Amino acid sequence: MDTVNIAVIGASGVGKSTYIQRILGLSRLPLSDASTLSYVVDNVTHSVTLIEMDLENLDFASGGGSSSSSQQVPIQWPRQINGHFMPQVDGAMIMYDVTNADSIRDLDKTLNALTNSGLPAVLVACKCDRPQNCREINAEGIANHDRFRACIDNFTLSSNKPEHARVCLTTILRAAIKMRRG
């Protein structure tokens, strides 16, 4: 069984660990930045590793640092995670917190770098069960913004709609598997 590696990327506190906790059915947050599960997509069981990555651990400036050159640079993954070599990433979930406007900073750079690396990505708005008056970001507006059109899909996650988490994972897995097969 092949392992499909999916990076779960976002700023600190956006909901990456909570997402992984729900997908894995854990009673508490995962203890590691890399969690593996068996997951069925289109009647085929896959070994899936979800790799939690803070935006601060990614390098976008390898192309010289200006905004025009950094848009052409592929993503630079850290060499290690939790003392283990970083596996080849097959796709990514780009997450942000609708209650924190700072959480979307650098997401466009992240998507550009992923696109330049030839990796599929989905855009994921977290904490969408929070009341409107607590939100600082319009998830629909972000999803429809030109900067995020390269995402294969976008999702809104909330605790009252747990099925969205599974649909999100299934979508990125299908894209990653298709990309691998060429």
Structure tokens at 110: 């992240």
- Per-residue model confidence (pLDDT) at position 65: 42
CATH number at residue 25: 3.40.50.300
Q: What is the pLDDT of residue 122?
A: 97
What is the predicted pLDDT for the residue at 70? 44
All residues at 6 or more sequence positions from 132 whose CB lies less than 8 Å from its CB, including other chains: none
pLDDT at 61: 58
155, two tokens: 């999702």
pLDDT confidence of residue 66: 41
Give the per-residue pLDDT at 127: 97
Range of the domain at 122: 3-181
- Given a cut of 50, the residues of the chain with pLDDT beneath it are 63-70
pLDDT in tens, 104-127: 998 988 989 998 899 999 999 999
Query: Can you give the pLDDT at residue 71?
Result: 54
Pairing verdict, β 121-126 and 91-97: parallel
CA distance 93 to 172: 7
pLDDT of amino acid 60? 66
> In the chain, how many domains are there?
1
Rounded distance between C-alpha atoms, residue 143 and residue 153, angstroms: 8
Per-residue model confidence (pLDDT) at position 160: 87
Helix (H) or strand (E) holding 48: strand 44-54
155: which strand partners?
A: 124
Whole-angstrom CA distances from 167 to 34, 39, 122, 132, 162 are 20, 12, 11, 24, 9
pLDDT score of 171: 98
